[in-house]
Structure 1
Amino acid sequence: MSTESLKYFIVAGEPSGDLHGGKLIQAIQNINPNTSFMGHGGNAMKAAGMQILEHTDDLAMMGFVEVIKHLPRMMKIMGRTIDTISRMKPDRIILIDYPGFNLRLAKRIHSLKIPITYFILPQVWAWKEKRVETMKTVLDQSLSIFPFEEEWFDSHGLATTYVGHPFAELEHLDEASKEFYQRHNLSIEYPVLVLLPGSRQQEIDRHWPVFLNAVESIKKIIPDLQVMVGKASNVTINSIPDYFRIETNARKAMIAGTAALVSSGTATLECAVEDTPMIVCYKLSSISWIMAKYLTHIKYASMVNLIANKKIVPELLQDDMTSTNIVEAVLPLLDSKNIKRKKMLAGFDIVRKNLGLPGVYNRAATAILSQIKEHDD
């Protein structure tokens, strides 16, 4: 098969995966324009030219209980996905993160003998380590975004290529800080606390009431506190006070922030890249938390601390995520002269260094196309 005309089936089930998928599609097209893409993704992948079968808005979920609750619908989506792949016979399947669905899909379509690339690998080093055996059986190519993963996977028998982390090439946004402040009627004289409660409705429902209580307490201490909410377009947030400012572009909110309350996830890395001090907060359902504690084997929950391999940012998880704890942790970060804030900013330098060099999507696209050529030869 010539690399001049290729069909790809790509699966990204979450907003972050959609953003990475869109950039990866563009990188592949830059090398080989005569390609077509079909699969599951969101607006970024659609804008890059992929035909969307299932949208990320209907796929994203978090926690054991939530997954079980939506299991019948997800099984139907799995069935339709397998039928489509069988009919389409793509030249390559690219799976992006979303391991609960994607690893099951890879197992079920393995018999079709269609090469599978996994970009942004399942974090089996954190929990469910035995899944690496499945990966060794069903994957043809593994592309890692974390520097420590390549060695870990290689030592477990899965050949892996480290391409760098996508956030290494984040570009600063066009809108100047002055314009952003004017648009949201903010003052540069007073601190701005950014709230990033999550990109899934389950996260909003658990985090938002605690965030609200914390802000009310902080306002009593800092009456001139300004509050900016980074709100994902696919979620509903109730009970938003009138003085809160809403921004749908979370990164713009981060850049304007003096400090942030962030649900654990990729937003923590974005804050680190943008030098926004943060407190990481997260709550699961009680059953999901118990199972996560039992199954996980990592020291930290946030990607910032994992990449630095040390505690850079405080993590307030589950029962520790109280408004009292949040207030105590975030107040020093709202003071530009506080030593805790300065130490955290110094720690972000370590994180950025460990993310690698820009050009991640180009390296990933080149690796994919190189293996296609090798497969053809």
Structure 2
Amino acid sequence: MKYYIIAGEASGDLHGSNLMKALYQEDAGASIRFWGGDLMQKAGGTLVSHYKDRAFMGFFEVLRNLNKVLVFIKFCKKDIEQFQPDVIIFIDNSGFNLRIAKWAKQAGFKTNYYISPQVWASRASRIKGIQRDIDKMFVILPFEKEFYKKYDYEVTFVGHPLIDGIAHRKQVSEHKFREEHQLGNLPIIALLPGSRKQEIIKMLSVMLSLVDDFSDYKFVIAGAPSQDFSFYKRIIGDRKVSFIDNKTYDLLSVSTAALVTSGTATLETALFKVPQVVCYKAGAISYQIAKRIITLKFISLVNLIMGKEVVTELIQQDFTKTKLKKELLKILEDEHRQKLFLEYYELEKKLGGKGASQKTAKLIVDSL
């Protein structure tokens, strides 16, 4: 069978790569063409477009690059028509994917969606389009099934693929990791400033402002696979911090605490049982628009899944050096850490166990 997969940004690349591996296991004759990144490319198939070429963050940034987005959409439609896949699989990335899905359904292609657009966060009106344009929806968050049920749309909860990604990763000893990256013996505070340039610029400078106040700890930046060290270097300046490229899981496995930009990374950090402070700051215009359409009480996946504040969120004007320092001190205290660990174990139970990618691949192949 022929599969056309469209994913955006680093998390989509990760989940897309695991789904591709599972598809090859379920369908030995699979032919896959995809939009994604390096991990998907390693899994096999043919890369059409890399996500780093279309990583636009926020409403204003998308508007400013609208012509580029429209060119990508036009090219994608043409490429699908030439490939003639048996199914198109959309992974998250709703701004782009829902536009392609509308056209694809009208053109007679079979459409599946893996990792739902966050319609539960904002613009629930998009559900009508999803019902019309998506044949099957596979969701990875436990509350999404009930959410869609309110709109009479049946979806399949397959569990969260991060559990598999973490369980199957190659283990690295802490001693070897520290030695390889010259980290010394101090406890590590991991900095996860995001994957896109706009968010890294906004987040990392504030995170780094704490370095001199925590001399008994080693601050280590988790570099995103889509960015070069030279970009980070301009923000780091002469601060005494370490930088490790594309080894976030290894870093989290040896970290004492983490400062994390809101997104998939908050859930990854929780699954590694690392106490964290969740941070987020968008451009002024993007934030004002988002504030008017997003209806959620929380922004981090940890708090959303748990339905309460488990980890502290410092958003927009609250994301300051003073408040960040206060919250970091808190998660370094033993009593607070023990409470967090218990919440993290409960979170993992809610995520449904292993096998999300394999379940999804089997359901897709069986439906064909």
**What range describes the TM-score normalised by the shorter chain of this pair?**
over 0.9
What SS does structure 2 have at the residue aligned with 1:110? helix
CA distance in 2: counterparts of 1:35 and 1:370, whole angstroms: 13
The AA in structure 1 aligned to 2:363 is: A
Task: Tell me which residue corresponds to 2:67.
Answer: 72
Task: Tell me which residue corresponds to 2:135.
Answer: 140
Instruction: State the percentage of identical aligned residues.
Output: 35
Q: CA deviation at 1:346?
A: 1.5
What SS does structure 1 have at the residue aligned with 2:69? helix
* Per-residue Cα deviation, 1:88-119 (whole angstroms, up to 9, x for no partner): 21100000000000001111222111110000
CA distance in 1: counterparts of 2:51 and 2:15, whole angstroms: 13
Task: Tell me which residue corresponds to 1:346.
Answer: 342
* Match 1:332 to one of 319, 330, 333: 330
1:232 aligns with 2:227: no
The AA in structure 2 aligned to 1:331 is: L
Aligned ranges for residues 303-342 of structure 1 at < 5 Å?
A: 303-335=301-333, 337=334, 339-342=335-338
TM-score, structure 1 normalization:
0.93
Task: Tell me which residue corresponds to 1:367.
Answer: 363
RMSD (CA atoms) = 1.3
* Per-residue Cα deviation, 1:37-68 (whole angstroms, up to 9, x for no partner): 11211111111112111101112222101111
Task: Tell me which residue corresponds to 1:269.
Answer: 267
The AA in structure 2 aligned to 1:330 is: L
Q: CA deviation at 1:234?
A: 1.9
CA distance in 2: counterparts of 1:159 and 1:28, whole angstroms: 23
CA distance in 2: counterparts of 1:211 and 1:168, whole angstroms: 27
Q: CA deviation at 1:309?
A: 1.0
Task: Tell me which residue corresponds to 1:14.
Answer: 9
Task: Tell me which residue corresponds to 1:209.
Answer: 205
CA distance in 1: counterparts of 2:59 and 2:113, whole angstroms: 23
Task: Tell me which residue corresponds to 2:161.
Answer: 166
Q: CA deviation at 1:183?
A: 1.8
The AA in structure 2 aligned to 1:232 is: A
1:181 aligns with 2:178: yes
* Per-residue Cα deviation, 1:301-355 (whole angstroms, up to 9, x for no partner): 00011111111100000000001100000012234x2x12221121111111111
Greater shift, 339-348 or 112-121, is seen at 339-348
Q: CA deviation at 1:200?
A: 0.5
Q: Specify every segment of 5 or more residues in structure 1 that has no aligned partner in the other structure, as ranges.
A: 1-5, 373-377
TM-score, structure 2 normalization:
0.95
Task: Tell me which residue corresponds to 2:21.
Answer: 26
1:246 aligns with 2:243: yes
* Match 1:107 to one of 83, 102, 108: 102
Q: CA deviation at 1:87?
A: 2.0
What SS does structure 1 have at the residue aligned with 2:209? helix
Q: Specify every segment of 5 or more residues in structure 2 that has no aligned partner in the other structure, as ranges.
A: none
* Match 2:284 to one of 283, 286, 297: 286
CA distance in 2: counterparts of 1:250 and 1:343, whole angstroms: 24
CA distance in 1: counterparts of 2:24 and 2:83, whole angstroms: 20
Task: Tell me which residue corresponds to 1:57.
Answer: 52
CA distance in 2: counterparts of 1:163 and 1:285, whole angstroms: 34
Greater shift, 228-237 or 292-301, is seen at 228-237
CA distance in 2: counterparts of 1:155 and 1:251, whole angstroms: 36
